[in-house]
Amino acid sequence: MIDSGLRDRAGRHVTLRPVDDDNWRAVADVAPRDDQRAHVPALAARYLVLTMRSDVWTSLAVYADETVVGHVMWGVDDDGSRWIGGMVIDATEQDRGIGRAAVRTLADWLAAQDGGHPVRLSYHPDNAPAAALYRSIGFTPTGTVEDDEVVAELRRG
């Protein structure tokens, strides 16, 4: 379990846990709002298939207390940089502070890994909520665009 002790606005404890035999169905069923499907797949199931087929990415379940509320994944690039991807909070659980807690928890955990590798993520420039969230956590655009997405790196003073 990855736990920075953060809570959502309802006071629920937000943690990141491995996808396992008990929770994988709930993680697969995580769905964004319909109007967000331009930026993310219709179900987190797509990310689970990707991470099962990939040596790079690892999926995590986002929990609020004991309820699965989202999906996020992390990976290591050839240059050692750590990446965050696949961030989706279920439509029924958005705007409660869970996304912020989940990204901060994963970013802190990746930044603390040996080697001091940069922590990066990318987002579509039209995805204003995601851009605002990442910027407020300390992710700053690097100037690189990959697959039409803005690459941003965690920079904390």
Binding residues for ligand COA, rule: CB under 6 A, are 32, 36, 39-40, 87-89, 94-100, 123, 127-130, 132-133, 136
Which candidate, 20, 81, 75, 33, places its Cα nearest to that of 50?
75
Quote the CA–CA distance of 94 and 98 in Å, as a whole number: 7
CB 57 → ligand COA: shortest distance, Å?
14
Measure the CA–CA gap between 98 and 12, rounded to whole angstroms.
9
How far is residue 74's CA from residue 82's CA, in Å, rounded to a whole number?
A: 7
Indicate the residue among 19 and 150 with the shorter CB distance to ligand COA.
150
Q: Indicate the residue whose CB is closest to ligand COA.
A: 99
Residue 149 beta carbon to ligand COA: minimum distance, rounded to whole angstroms: 8
- Number of C-beta neighbours around residue 67 at 10 A: 11
Shortest CB 122 distance to ligand COA, Å: 7
Nearer to ligand COA, 116 or 127 (CB): 127
